[in-house]
Structure formats: structure tokens, C-alpha cells
Amino acid sequence: MILELKHAEFGKCKNILSDNSLLETKAVIEGTHPGRIFTDDAASPASGFIWLGSNNGFIFIGDENNEKFNTGLYDYFKRAIEPEARKQGMSSFEAIGDHPAWDATFKIVFGENITGYNQRVYQLQKNHYRKQDEPVLEQGYDVVKITRETLNAPYDNQNFLHSKILEFWPSLEAFLNEGIGYIVIGGNEIASICFSGVVAGSVHGIDIETLEHHRGRKLGQAAAHAFVKDCLEQGLTPYWDCMEVNKPSVSIAENLGFTKKLEYRWYSVSFG
């Protein structure tokens, strides 16, 4: 049997998390990141999955060999998850294991032909930060902290800033209360952004993007440096999660002094 937990019950899943749980997993359970949790038992969960509120990802937690849970998993996705997901425009989803042992279970439950992708997680310690590599911006560009005033400023593409934040946060107010962020302004346009996409405790997960026609000017690096310095000054830990094949993202992280904490795989699964 699989059932959905109420928000007040999320804390019951803490005991089944792995030592290297992803930041999103912890954030949903702590209530700082939107998401829903489904488990085999509301009172004492052994296995479950988290439907992330920010995208089409599902993180599977607990015992990957729970036969009772796994036997009904495929049918539950077809009956309960797929119809709701399709209403949101989803034709596939990302299956992520809270620990690597889930990888084999995904192939048993969802089929051998699902495609896997490698992901890297980096963290930055204060004594590893490479401040000396902070780039000098071209004339006409400025780094600005995201504040209430920034969110209300009449930038030409203000909707870009709002939409990026609302991909990860339930409201702009929630971000202002819990997150940190910086943008790079060119003229009256937001050219690049680096902000807390996920927060759990003192760890801030980075989301970063530079608009295509502004790329090649190290704007993302400048925004990331500002973000990192702010985190470190407050005693917070910057966290960077990106695909292994995303060489620009990997390069920025490593040039800042981030060190690889772990690797994991996620799988693209079609609803069929």
C-alpha cells in the first residue's frame, strides 16, 4: 500500500534517509522546499518517494528492497501519479535514488531501457574559496543583491527574475525570508542570476543562469562569487548540484574552489 503523508507527518521520514541525502530531500522534509511525500506506512515509513514541487523529479528514499512497496509502485504511478502529472504537462519524470542501491530497483520497476545520467554534488568550505579568481566585469555590467527593492525594480525583463525564483519557492516573500541571491545587470536588463534554489539548515543549494546573448563575459562567475561570499560571511555552506556533462557549470564550481562531495545518477522515465 502507498499513501500520501500530511505535511505534519513529513518528519517521520528522517530516520530512513541515507547519510548522503540530497539537499532537496532534506529541504522538503524540513518544510523549506515545496514537495509531497508518499510512503508505505504513515506511522512508521520504511520506503517512500518525494515528488519535488519545483520540477518533475521524484526522489526515492528508504529501503530499496521493500517488496511490498516495490510491487505496487509501478501501478501506483500509472493510476495516481501519471494522470496528475500529465495535467501539469509532464510526459516523463526523473527518478532519483536517495542512495545508489535504488538504481537497480528503478530498472526492475520501470524497465531496463530507462536512460541514466550522471550528476555531481559539490560543496564549498571557507578555506577553499578562491577569491583571487573573481572576474572583473566589463563596463556596463553591475552585480546587485536580490532584495525587496530589486524584485520591484522596473527592469526590462523583471519577469525572468520572478519566474526563476518561483520555480523553486512558493512565493517571493518566502525566498526573501530564507534565501540569498545576486543578479548581474547590463543596461536595464537582468543578464545573469545566482540564488538559493533550495535551503536546508545552513546549506544553500545554488541555481544559476545567464541569458544566452550575455554569455562569454563571466557574468555567471561574478554572480556566483557574490553569492558565495555572502554565504561564507554568514557561516552558510554553498552547495552546487549539476550534470556531469554540463562543463560550464562544473568549471565555475571548481574555479570557485568547490570540491566534489558525491556523484549520483538520475533516470528519465517516460509515462509511455
- pLDDT tens digit sequence for 16-73: 999 999 999 999 999 999 999 999 999 999 999 999 986 679 999 999 999 999 999 9
Q: How far apart are CA 105 and CA 112, in angstroms?
A: 10
For the segment 147-170, the average pLDDT, to the nearest whole number, is: 96
Q: How confident is the model at residue 138 (pLDDT cuts 50, 70, 90)?
A: very high
Q: How confident is the model at residue 113 (pLDDT cuts 50, 70, 90)?
A: confident
Q: How far apart are CA 105 and CA 103, in angstroms?
A: 5
pLDDT per residue as tens digits for the range 171-230: 999 999 999 999 999 999 999 999 999 999 999 999 999 999 999 999 999 999 999 999
Cell numbers linked to 212: 544566452
- pLDDT value at residue 54: 67
Domains, the chain, in order of start with CATH, read 3-119 (3.40.630), 125-256 (3.40.630.30)
The CA-CA-CA angle for residues 147, 24, 162, to 5°, reads: 30
Q: How confident is the model at residue 94 (pLDDT cuts 50, 70, 90)?
A: very high
